[in-house]
Amino acid sequence: MNNEIGYEIDFLPVGEGEKSGDAIALHWGNILSNDPTKQTVVVIDGGFADSGEALVEHIKKYYQTSTVNCVISTHPDNDHVSGLSVVLEKMTVNCLVMHRPWLKEHTNGISDLFVHGRVTDKSVRNRLKEGLDAAYQLEQLALNKRIQITEPFTDVGGYSGALRILGPTQDYYESLLPDFRSTPQAKQESSISTLFGRASSAVANAVKKFAENWDIETLDNDGETSAENNSSAITLFHFNDEYILFTGDAGIPALTQAVNLLVGEGFNFAKLKFIQVPHHGSQRNIGPTILNTLIGNRVNQTKIKTAFVSAAKDGEPKHPAKKVTNAFLRRGAPVYATQGKGLLHRSSNIPLRAGWSSASSIQLYTEVEE
């Protein structure tokens, strides 16, 4: 089914005010026919509960079906997972891809890693279930509905279908669990939580501004994000000779592992045509080194790739950060932001949807926030 006709990828608008989130739907196959069985439909994250409703309506209206072949939950934060329960409740879902951190296989012996002596593996599992309630509810719903659940760990050695999980590896995922917000205090404060805490307290200070242009880049490789974000499933979609990268809220260590996997396989990055800007465009999740591999390391004012970011209407200056959109644009990947409206990316043989108009990308900023 992968070698015919085309694909469409929809980023739905998520979130009120400053709160961003992800709700993504895609379908591929003979999507121009009136036969919905000739396509494959996938949902990647469902935003908040109201975005889940919007996803259901969107798929029924534009994909002409109430069947979703696969739902992927990148990570358990509410702005990604809450809406997925609505999709499972209101549509026919054939498979669910999500992490289940509370399973015994991920938490055997985990109690040794915490400061407090009375912590048990079971109490950690319970805290994960309680702290990640929306994700746990999603899992329970899938079990009740007898929907097959698979955990998204690195597919080594290529594709078995159109979608491939590049990361996290199971080892890396399990190493992140002691730093999840809902677990007790870990014995060794990892560099992640220390630096993350310090960085957040600096936000209260006045925001400094820096000059940027095509040649001056202030984005660095030192950004830190939460353990939950780094646990995000990173997915590569391929259709004929084109590749598309979905990043969830993954941060620099997680993305580096995924990108290095491809580098090691001799992947041709020229075939990567579309990149989701990670974590709503936060400057803590991406750096020049990864972008140099994914896109290129020279200023390229010709558009060679497309980038989408799910960002709330009032998400700026954090979502997306100007130095991030500049970094993509500078390399030849202009960024389009949802900011309250839906965005559609499609293969070149698919006509623009009736009633939709072309979007404009974010221009180069000459001043960026610290």
Q: How far is the CB of 361 from Zn ion (least distance, A)?
A: 21
Contacts of 67 (CB under 8 A, 6+ apart): 36, 41, 91, 92, 93, 94
Amino acid at 232: S
Q: Cα(27)–Cα(6) distance, rounded to whole angstroms?
A: 9
Distance CA 57, CA 60 (A): 5
Smallest separation, CB 59 to Zn ion (Å): 21
Looking at 46, 249, 259, 278, which residue binds Zn ion (CB under 5 A)?
Answer: 249
User: What span, in angstroms and rounded, lies between the C-alpha atoms of 85 and 93?
Assistant: 11
Considering only 60-68, 130-138, 241-249, 268-276, which stretch makes contact with Zn ion by CB under 5 A? 241-249
3-class DSSP assignment, residue 155: coil
To the nearest whole angstrom, how small is the minimum distance from the Cβ of residue 91 to Zn ion? 23
Q: Rounded to an integer, what distance in angstroms lies between the CA atom of residue 293 and that of residue 285?
A: 15
Q: Which x/- pattern over 205-224 shows residues binding Zn ion (rule: CB under 5 A)? A: --------------------
Give 109-147 as a DSSP string. Answer: TGGGGBSSTT--HHHHHHHHHHHTHHHHHHHHHHHHTT-
CB 22, min distance to Zn ion, A: 6
For residue 223, the minimal CB distance to Zn ion (Å) is 15
- What distance in Å separates the CA atoms of residue 77 and residue 286, rounded to the nearest whole number? 19
Site for Zn ion in 282-321 (CB under 5 A): none
Nearer of residues 114 and 180 to Zn ion, judged by Cβ: 180
Stretches 56-64, 148-156, 166-174, 243-251: which one binds Zn ion (CB under 5 A)? 243-251
* Shortest distance, position 134 Cβ to Zn ion, whole Å: 13
Largest CA distance in the chain: 62
Instruction: Name which position in 8, 45, 79, 212 contacts Zn ion (CB under 5 A).
Output: 79
The structure tokens listed for 19 are 């709160």
45 binds Zn ion (CB under 5 A): no
Taking residues 129 to 158 in sequence order and writing x for each that binds Zn ion by CB under 5 A, - otherwise, the string is ------------------------------
Which listed range, 74-82, 165-173, 181-189, 361-369, lies at the site for Zn ion (CB under 5 A)? 74-82
Amino acid at 276: Q
Residue 26 DSSP SS3: strand
Specify the stretch interacting with Zn ion by CB under 5 A; choose among 72-80, 110-118, 268-276, 346-354.
Answer: 72-80
**Given the complex with Zn ion, which of 28 and 48 has the nearer CB atom?**
48
For residue 63, CA distances in Å to 34, 308, 310 come to: 10, 20, 21
DSSP H or E segment with residue 326:
helix 322-330
User: Toward Zn ion, which CB reaches closer, 19 or 38?
Assistant: 19
Residue among 217 and 249 whose Cβ is closer to Zn ion: 249
Q: Which stretch binds Zn ion (CB under 5 A): 211-219, 242-250, 263-271, 286-294?
A: 242-250
Min dist CB 268 to Zn ion, Å, is 30
Q: Judged by CB under 5 A, which stretch of 48-56, 76-84, 235-243, 282-290 contacts Zn ion?
A: 76-84
> In angstroms, what is the minimal distance from the CB of 72 to Zn ion?
14
Closer of 212 and 249 to Zn ion (Cβ): 249
Are residues 27 and 3 in contact, defined by beta-carbon separation less than 8 angstroms?
Answer: no
Distances (CA, A) of 325 to 32, 146, 283, 307, 346: 33, 42, 9, 9, 21
Report which secondary-structure segment, H or E, holds 252.
helix 252-264
Cβ closest to Zn ion, residue 79 vs residue 212: 79
- Of the candidate spans 47-55, 71-79, 261-269, 344-352, the one that interacts with Zn ion by CB under 5 A turns out to be 71-79
Residues binding Zn ion: number (CB under 5 A): 2
Would you tell me which residues interact with Zn ion (CB under 5 A)?
79, 249
